[in-house]
Amino acid sequence: MNFYITDDDEAIRTMLTQIIEEEDIGEVVGEAWDGSLLDGMTLTLKKVDVLFIDLLMPIRDGIETIRQIKPEFNGKVIMLSQVESKDMIGEAYSLGIEHYITKPINKFEVLAVIQKVIERIRLEKSVHDIHQSLTTALNLEPPQNQRQALNRKKLKASGRFLLSELGIAGGSGSKDLLDILEYLDEYERIHTLEKGFPPLKEIFEKLVQKRQGNHSPPSELTREIKATEQRVRRAISQSLNHLASIGLADFSNLKFETYASKFFDFTVIRKKMNELKKETSTTTLRINTKKFIQVLYFEAKQVSELH
pLDDT digits (tens, 9 = 90+) for 240-293: 999 999 988 887 777 888 888 889 988 899 999 988 888 766 567 889 999 999
2-122 CATH fold: Rossmann fold (3.40.50)
Counting as low any pLDDT under 50, the low residues of the chain are 306-307
Q: Per-residue pLDDT tens for 52-84?
A: 999 999 999 999 999 888 878 889 999 998 877
pLDDT of 135 reads 60
pLDDT of 307 reads 41
pLDDT of 49 reads 92
Residue-level length of the chain:
307
Identify residue 72 by its one-letter amino acid code: E
| Burial of 233: CB neighbours in 10 Å, binned 0-12, 13-18, 19+ | middle
Identify residue 257 by its one-letter amino acid code: E
This prediction's pTM: 0.56
What is the distance between the alpha carbons of residues 294 and 132, in angstroms, rounded to a whole number?
29
What residue segments make up the domains of the chain, in order of their start? Answer: 2-122, 157-304
What is the distance between the alpha carbons of residues 255 and 100, in angstroms, rounded to a whole number?
11
CA distances from 256 to 22, 35, 63, 97, 128 (A): 28, 27, 21, 14, 28
State residue 80 phi and psi, 5-degree precision: -120, 140
